[in-house]
Amino acid sequence: MDYIKLPAVIEKLKSAESKFLPVWISAPTGYGKTSAIKDYYAFKSMLCISGKNGMLDQRPEFSKIRQSVVFVDDVSFVADQNSQRYILSLLNQKNFQTILAGRGKFPEWLEDIALQIDFVFISEQEFLFHETQMIELFEHHGIFLEKEKMEQLTRWTQGYPIASLFYLKHILNGEAFSLALVEKVWDDVFRFWDRNIFELYDSELWNLMLALAPYPYFSEDFAASVTGVSVVQEWFLYLQKTGQYLFRNENAVWKFRPEIEKFLCWKRKMVYSEEKQKENYHRAAYWYEQHDRISEALEYYRLAGAEEQMTQLLIRNAANHPGTGHYYDTRKYYEALPEQTILENPVLISGMSLLCSLMLNPQDSEKWYQELKAFAENPKNPKPKRKEARNKLAYLDIALPHRAGKGIIKIFTNTFRMVKAGEIRLQEFSVTSNIPAIMNGGLDFCVWSKNDTAIARFLGHPLEIVLGKHGKGLVDIALSESLFEKGMTNPYEIVTRLNNGIADASNGGKMEMIFAATALLVKQHLLQGQYPTAKRRIDMFQQKITEENASQLIPNFQAFCTWFALYTNDKKIIQNYLESAPDEKKNFYVLDRYRYMIKIRCLIAENHLADALDLACFLTGYFNSYQRTYMMIENNILKAVILYRMENESWRSVLTEALQKAEEFHFVRVFSLEGTAVLPLLMHLEKTDISEEFLKAIMNEAKKMALAYPDYLNYVTKPDIYFTDRETQVLSLLCQGLSMQEICNECGISYDGLKKHNRNIYQKLGAKNRAEAERKVLQLGIIHRKGGEL
């Protein structure tokens, strides 16, 4: 078969030839190194020497070499010192050009000479097939495929020449061009590698590679533990040297090349028995467990079918991570356990009850709760386990989200009595669920806001006793939150109280409390127009998160920072947030509720009103059934804003509902913080039963916020701009990032024609150039960023 020429390779060989420089070619097997050299030097005499077996297969005297080119292949394998010396001497000869080829990195023993002699380096990237080479290859065999198929083919083969050849073989055999062929082709490639690469390797090395195949990353310690091989580092360096099959990052963690990883997994399926696979996974799981990497340990115990170890690990993990977050992370493993296994352990039963509640399944949560109760009451169960069950029941009575904290004071009273009597031990738990709020934190305590000072006076000290370090600063911060929301207390008192709370929490308390207090301080500063002070608070807290390694706060802190960025309409932060925000359509998890509320605001700011409304409506059901009063009010306000912008009159009833509920508690700030977004609605709202004093309080503050932060949720009325059909099409393609030529091709118009349309578009938008036009259409909400659709 004719060789498909690669321009980059040809150019470098020409340059090396004209300057009589040696060449070093590095690429793994199947990239066509040898074919490239033989094709280029077809009309020259060439001596070929191989180093495949660790030493050169011939070392003729230089004076007897008559050829004009000496090509030494498989230099990476040359370990014999005489052979290495021979190559070094070759490079100093003037009678012929020297071409060296290897599969791995530039050999260390050549580095000194590379300082004295200029080499021309050709890397594997230059051997990859692009579309042009693919077209040439196929057309040479009489196969003509559409441009789109050639693009697909280039993607599927990743430009790997040998894969392209295998693909061609299948097409020539009459097989249809399809995605199903991809697997067949890669099977061919793997068989090729099996025959041509790995047959050269020592069996210990082979075993090492197969044992590590399924693991995306591994340290040398991990590798030694899983494989039982002690000299792993030497083998890893050997693999790098002879084929660049392994990479190491700055953390001294190794990784196979992706295609090699796939090959090894393919080979492993053929040579490993099921028992051997499980044993391998078990070793890996044990290593991860010893290194406290619970998620990985659980996953590999699961793959090893080691149910007992998985169970014990889940139990230990639940004890070591008292917050609810870890249940979501490990839910797959809870769900994988047989029901009987769960029913034998109160920690697992409790975990299931909590998990179901967190996943919006209160019925199953209560079912598991009843199982736990039955376990505690069953005299046949061992005493220690029954006590554990009672501990867990006390915890669930407080913590189950769907119970919404009903009768929580009585629950606390009973819990305290039982703790005092030594009947139970209450586990640690987070009051805020890592949300920057307490009254609207783990549970909704809006009802306490009606008598906040009296409840705080009586409850403060007892709560601090029951909650331990989770209670430090709690009462000051929770009371501040209630007073802040009502908007009737002197800011000085609120700021003083919050700082007291922070001081308490900083002294042996929890970061979650400081987060809640910081958020309130930021809101207070924003209300007073003190944006820089608010920003400094956030920066200080960010530093504290890093110092205290409070990684559990990061997702909600990121959401909080995004909320703050909305006040200056920082598009970059808003768009980044939307790309990483949780997706309620995949899995809904109640602990993400704060992040969802920020997501709604970002969607509004980006004018994705339909998506924002979808999410707000979805959350309504959850807020209702879990009695999240505050978030229900907040959600209704945002829904009203969305409906108003959609010119849907339902906004009035939705906003009125929010006002009526908020009035019960005199919650002013939940409205006024929405400033410029909610102000037009308040101004257009007709007379309602809402008290004038309450409405006036909201309006006054909303006006101040609107003046101070006019870009909040960035509502810009759509101007009357009319584009023709062609202009609409061109504008859409411009925003998708197509080049001018591509747009001409797509629209079937000339370059001059396109220029004319562009001129009209810019003029209508008042833009000077393409970049400005794109910005304007986004700002005006004429176009969405993703997909560039109008």
* Integer Cα distance of 313 and 113 in angstroms: 56
* Integer Cα distance of 598 and 481 in angstroms: 19
Amino acid present at 225: S
The correct pick among 354, 483, 604, 668 for binding another protein (CB under 8 A) is 483
Q: Can you read off the two tokens belonging to residue 744? A: 């001409």
Furthest CA-CA distance within the chain: 108
**Contacts (CB under 8 A) with another protein, residues 69-88:** none
Distance of closest approach, residue 470 Cβ to another protein, in angstroms: 16
Burial classification of residue 692, based on how many CB atoms lie within 10 Å of its CB (0-12 exposed, 13-18 middle, 19 or more buried): exposed
User: Is 693 an interacting residue with respect to another protein (CB under 8 A)?
Assistant: no
The correct pick among 44, 155, 316, 417 for binding another protein (CB under 8 A) is 417
Burial classification of residue 203, based on how many CB atoms lie within 10 Å of its CB (0-12 exposed, 13-18 middle, 19 or more buried): exposed
Contacting range for another protein; rule: CB under 8 A; set: 351-359, 409-417, 517-525, 681-689: 409-417
The correct pick among 358, 424, 479, 640 for binding another protein (CB under 8 A) is 479
Distance of closest approach, residue 410 Cβ to another protein, in angstroms: 6
Residues 6+ apart with CB under 8 A from 637: 655, 658, 670, 671, 674, 678
H or E element at residue 785:
none
- Three-state DSSP class for residue 250: coil
Alpha carbon dihedral 747, 750, 752, 757, in 10-degree steps, equals -20
- The smaller minimum CB distance to another protein, of residues 149 and 457, is found at 457
Distance of closest approach, residue 448 Cβ to another protein, in angstroms: 7
Distance of closest approach, residue 458 Cβ to another protein, in angstroms: 4
* Contact flags string 446-475 toward another protein, x per CB under 8 A: -xx-xxxxxxxxxxxxx--xx--------x
Distance of closest approach, residue 494 Cβ to another protein, in angstroms: 9
- The smaller minimum CB distance to another protein, of residues 130 and 425, is found at 425
| Residue recorded with tokens 């790995």 | 198
Residues 6+ apart with CB under 8 A from 222: 215, 284, 287
- The smaller minimum CB distance to another protein, of residues 196 and 451, is found at 451
Distance of closest approach, residue 692 Cβ to another protein, in angstroms: 19
Amino acid present at 102: G
Whether 306 and 282 have beta carbons less than 8 Å apart is answered as yes
Contacting range for another protein; rule: CB under 8 A; set: 50-58, 382-390, 412-420, 525-533: 412-420
- The smaller minimum CB distance to another protein, of residues 74 and 464, is found at 464
- Look at residues 716, 704, 626 and name the one whose alpha carbon lies nearest to residue 672: 704
Distance of closest approach, residue 777 Cβ to another protein, in angstroms: 50
DSSP-derived letter for residue 244 is -
* Contact flags string 99-128 toward another protein, x per CB under 8 A: ------------------------------
- Look at residues 643, 700, 702, 714 and name the one whose alpha carbon lies nearest to residue 674: 702
**Contacts (CB under 8 A) with another protein, residues 484-543:** 489, 493, 497
Helices 161-172 + 131-140 axis angle, to 10: 30
* Integer Cα distance of 208 and 246 in angstroms: 13
Number of residues that bind another protein (CB under 8 A): 30
- The smaller minimum CB distance to another protein, of residues 453 and 717, is found at 453
Contacting range for another protein; rule: CB under 8 A; set: 98-106, 128-136, 271-279, 410-418: 410-418
* Contact flags string 428-447 toward another protein, x per CB under 8 A: -------------------x
The correct pick among 206, 272, 328, 416 for binding another protein (CB under 8 A) is 416
Distance of closest approach, residue 472 Cβ to another protein, in angstroms: 12
Distance of closest approach, residue 318 Cβ to another protein, in angstroms: 28
- Look at residues 297, 188, 663 and name the one whose alpha carbon lies nearest to residue 655: 663
Contacting range for another protein; rule: CB under 8 A; set: 259-267, 384-392, 407-415, 718-726: 407-415
- Look at residues 430, 440, 402 and name the one whose alpha carbon lies nearest to residue 324: 430
Distance of closest approach, residue 476 Cβ to another protein, in angstroms: 9
The correct pick among 149, 410, 536, 755 for binding another protein (CB under 8 A) is 410
- The smaller minimum CB distance to another protein, of residues 463 and 603, is found at 463
CA 777 to chain centre: 29
* Integer Cα distance of 500 and 717 in angstroms: 45
- Three-state DSSP class for residue 168: helix
- Look at residues 512, 526, 540, 544 and name the one whose alpha carbon lies nearest to residue 438: 512
Distance of closest approach, residue 509 Cβ to another protein, in angstroms: 15
Distance of closest approach, residue 525 Cβ to another protein, in angstroms: 20
Residue numbers at the binding site for another protein (CB under 8 A): 409-410, 412-413, 416-417, 420, 447-448, 450-462, 465-466, 475, 479, 483, 489, 493, 497
